[in-house]
Structure 1
Amino acid sequence: MTKKIILSLCFLIAIFANAQGKKGINFQKVSLETAKQIAKKENKLIFIDIYTTWCGPCKLMQKNTFTDAKVGDFFNKNFVNLAIDAEKEGVALAKEFKIVNFPSFLFLNASGKLVQYDFGYYNAEQFSSIGMSVVNKISSASLPKTIDMVKGKMVGDKIPDFSAKDHLGNTFSSSNQKEKLVVVFIRGQWCPYCNRYIESLQNISPELKAKNAKLVIISPEKPEFIEKTIEKTKTSYTVLYDDGYKIAEAFDVLYTPDTKILDLYNSKVEGFATSRSDNSGRLPVSATFILDENKIISWRHFNPDYKERASIEDILKQL
């Protein structure tokens, strides 16, 4: 009887010691789709270790780094963690992200979009720093930008395809445009400087056509407010509703005014809070960009002062 009791105690101690010894990153045995759902629910990012069974550095990461208690605490708190064999269930994933080095590390947001990629062997301290940089990158990206923080895309930058609807519901896609594009951002129909500027641009339509260029106005306001812009300016140019500020973000012109200015706009500008896709109060810098036929920026006018706009002479000279 005594022998049985001793054996039972030894067994329980072994189980307890094993449980206590399970430190480090908790890799969940779930699909990427399930990991996305968990990440959204728990407000986490996704970390994927892509390894192979023959990779020496992969084994060292699993032995030395992933088992570290501090690494585990940080990654388990901030990430849904997956470990995927690149030559088995991870074949499609490795192909999608063009992975040729092992181990490779994918850091994704909850929607599965790549935030950061890394590869190779790292000790615990180094890998903790990588994880922290990813979390900090997401945290800083989620903070609203002040007007001093936005710089606008630069000459030589290629702008990804953007599309939006005009006030009539017609879809405009930049990829379908063969001409050069003159992209003008406005703050809205309530802005007298914007309205006057649009009016001044009307006279250059023939010259734009002669230079194989099309002028497009980007507004953060909904179609019914864009109609007011058209009424006030009598413009014949395409005016697009930047739903969700996606175009403004693509050009890096989107900012949030300070509280004092927002309070002023909300109290003085009729419909300011309801005219856009959310009530954040975000606005675009009143910038102008010229894109060549390949949608690469060839010229820009970027001034945080909404009273300062690109001159007609400069636009035509740069086309």
Structure 2
Amino acid sequence: MFKTIAYTLCLLIGISINSQSNKGINFQKIDLEAAKKIAAKENKLIFIDLYTTWCGPCKLMAKNTFTDPRIGEAFNKNFINLAIDAEKEGVNLVKEFKIVNYPSFLFLDHTGKLVQYDFGYYNAEQFLGVGASVVSKVSPQTTKTIEQVKGKMVGDKINNFSAKDHLGNTFSSSKEKEKLIIVFIRGQWCPYCNKYIETLQNLSPELKSKNARLVIISPEKPEFIEKTINKTKTDYTVVYDEGYKIAEAFDVLYTPNNETLNFYNSRLKDEFTASRSDNSGRLPVSATFILNENKEITWRHFNPDYKERASVEDILKNL
């Protein structure tokens, strides 16, 4: 009877200890390549605790800091977490990042690119700050949902913006003396965007007589813009909105919900994650604006539904 009670108590204590440990960082038993794939799919960063078995501060971090529930909540939410022995499976990482201090902390994006490096002992409060600083480097300071973006209104004046096309040529709005038709697209992976750009070619013969120029704003890097041009055969200027600055200026930038992001990341993979300036998943509403010679908005088509676009007839009528 006594043995049964003692065994039960030991079992309960074990369960309790395990439950407490689960409140901290969830270090996954996977390699870096697998972590990259998960990070891309879940729109997260990668955190690597690079430790050695003889390192005292490494053991203290594992015992005191990584087990803290606040650390667990923050790091499990934002990172795919790996604990790697620097003298075993971490030898290549030590060479690649020239590690000489332990514990060392590598914060990587989903491609394996270093976002931030740190080392040494931190208590939970201090390490929360380290994690927050990493997240702030790659996440927008303010994010809006698609329901919150409203787009700039008729009568608003747009400050000068500039961006490069796929050939490295710079477009600057302040240098344009014509009216501007500004069209936002989501990227070359979007069939609705490609079809719409093809439709817009019908405007081309009319633009000169209307003293107007059409410019397409893409969140994608030049090599992906080149794909847009090849797919649509467009003659219009297509520029890379690096850092989403133009989309922010027109108030069309939003962050899709997690379900949508997961869908895009899983279905499109690098076509979505590697094409833009960060891994936040932000996109522009597929809006169209007409600016007069003074760069004031005289007409707009703003619909959060990416399937609904401004018609050629409406654009011509409002030039």
Distance 2:153 2:301 in 1: 10
The within-5 A match list for 1:107-122 is: none
CA contact 2:202–2:312 (8 Å) conserved in 1: no
Aligned to 2:263: 264
Shift of 1:184: 0.1
Structure 2: tracts of 5 or more residues without a match: 1-139
The within-5 A match list for 1:84-99 is: none
Shift of 1:143: 3.3
Shift of 1:209: 1.2
Distance 1:268 1:209 in 2: 41
Give the letter for the 1:276 counterpart.
R
Aligned to 2:55: none
CA contact 2:158–2:297 (8 Å) conserved in 1: yes
Distance 1:143 1:253 in 2: 13
Distance 2:141 2:269 in 1: 28
The within-5 A match list for 1:106-255 is: 142-255=141-254
Shift of 1:142: 3.0
Aligned to 1:85: none
Distance 2:189 2:286 in 1: 14
> How far does the alpha carbon of each residue in 1:179-223 deviate from its partner, in whole angstroms, 9 at most, with x for none?
000000000000000000000011211101110000000000000
Query: What SS is found at the alignment partner of 1:142?
Result: coil
Query: What SS is found at the alignment partner of 1:215?
Result: strand
Shift of 1:298: 0.1
Number of residue pairs the alignment of both structures matches:
179
Distance 2:286 2:162 in 1: 19
Distance 2:241 2:269 in 1: 20
**Taking structure 2 as the reference length, what is the TM-score of the superposition?**
0.56
> How far does the alpha carbon of each residue in 1:254-279 deviate from its partner, in whole angstroms, 9 at most, with x for none?
00000000000001114211100000
Distance 1:209 1:203 in 2: 13
> How far does the alpha carbon of each residue in 1:103-128 deviate from its partner, in whole angstroms, 9 at most, with x for none?
xxxxxxxxxxxxxxxxxxxxxxxxxx
Distance 1:191 1:220 in 2: 12
Distance 2:143 2:172 in 1: 27
Give the letter for the 1:147 counterpart.
I
Shift of 1:252: 0.2
Structure 1: tracts of 5 or more residues without a match: 1-140
Query: What SS is found at the alignment partner of 1:210?
Result: coil
Give the letter for the 1:296 counterpart.
E
Query: What SS is found at the alignment partner of 2:208?
Result: helix
> How far does the alpha carbon of each residue in 1:231-290 deviate from its partner, in whole angstroms, 9 at most, with x for none?
000000000000000000000000000000000000111421110000000000000000
Query: What SS is found at the alignment partner of 1:240?
Result: strand
> Which contiguous aligned blocks of 4+ residues in structure 1 show a shift greater than 4 angstroms?
none
Whether 1:318 and 2:318 are equivalent positions in the alignment is: yes
The within-5 A match list for 1:41-56 is: none
Distance 1:142 1:273 in 2: 19
Give the letter for the 1:310 counterpart.
A
Distance 1:249 1:168 in 2: 24
Give the letter for the 1:279 counterpart.
N
Q: In percent, how many aligned pairs have the same letter?
A: 79
RCO higher in 1 or 2 (8 Å CA, sep ≥ 6)? 2
